[in-house]
Amino acid sequence: MHKTLCSLSAVALTPACWAQCDFGAADALAAAIVDDFPLVSGASLRLEDPLLPGPSLERFYGDYDRGTVVPIASATKLLSAIVVMSCVEQDGLDLDAPVATYLPEFGGTKGTMTVRQMFSHTSGLPSNSVFAFDPSITLAQAVTRIALFTPLEATPGTDFCYGQVSMHVAGRVCEVVSGTDWDTLFAERVAMPLGLTDTNYDGLYETTNPLIAGGAESSLEDYSRVIRMLIDGGMYRGERIIEQSSINAMFTDLTAGLPIRCTPASRDTQNYGLGAWVLTRADGSRRVDSPGAFAYTPWVELDDAGNPLLGGVYMIEDGVSSLSDPIDAARLHAVRGRHRR
């Protein structure tokens, strides 16, 4: 079993407070996914400890290496939530204002849904719309067509329906309040300050209509920088990307107790924040994650007081096999492997 000695920064802790981190089991389980599933050619795993200046573990399996870039499907949602929160902080976006405040083409009951509802899948809109997936139009054109031709399936705020279309509308709201197109917003507020070179919204196809909830591509290094920023309270290399209060809002369960209209087969509950699933355990600790349909899985572990314990990215691309259970096993052993002396 591989064992990594993780010495902590002397600035943060005294020399006596060193950590013995045994991530061998997580490493072995992550590698086994490539070995056990014939359609999986490669994968990679990176773990980020908030008490350490660099990665606690970085491994590449099969044919993956540091240059590998893959479509990340719904792992896009967490990236998009960061952009939304930047609009709250910098442009005065009100998460609880009726969408008609920003997009007057939304009328009637549909005009009452909010960005908070859109990014927690409680807006009442259907799961998907053909307009969100049309690469030949702009985001503005797609959302206008959603306003005109995509009816609500429930009253806003009354049920949970996981999907693409509600976040698409919220993305257009961000364009309106900022006066900037989505791709530029993401580049200026997330990609450039984090130094992301492999992450964009053309992961499924080249488009002028970025799929806010599922269209990005990324690499292990890039997305790990996003996770690093989140576990460091919104800071990255001395620059603030978003406030801790925004991260808290993203990581708060907004859907407990709501009836489920639609949800992925791998999820039997609907506990969701803003752009991420929120699992609260019996001891009060939480796992916040945003896995994609191709199994790309970023996550953050929090203790019962909301303090980050560990962040991670398991990078893989396979849309056929059921990988949620083996990935969950690797993540569980990553948490178990992180202990303090």
Structural domain contains residue 261: yes
Structural domain contains residue 171: no
- For the chain, what is the domain count? 1
Q: What's the whole-model pTM score? A: 0.93
CA distance 174 to 171: 5
Is residue 330 within 8 A of residue 29, CB to CB? The reply is yes
Structural domain contains residue 252: yes
pLDDT tens by residue, 231-248: 999 999 999 999 999 999
β-partners of residue 160 are: 260
β-partners of residue 272 are: 277
Who has greater pLDDT, 18 or 248?
248
Domain range spanning residue 26?
Answer: 4-83+178-340
pLDDT at position 20: 59
The owner of tokens 């572990």 is: 301
Least confident interval from 124-138, 222-236, 265-279, 305-319: 265-279
pLDDT tens by residue, 100-111: 999 999 999 999
Q: Give the β-pairing of 55-62 and 69-71.
A: unpaired
Q: What is the CATH number of the domain that holds 264?
A: 3.40.710.10
pLDDT tens by residue, 35-76: 999 989 999 999 999 998 889 999 999 999 999 999 999 999
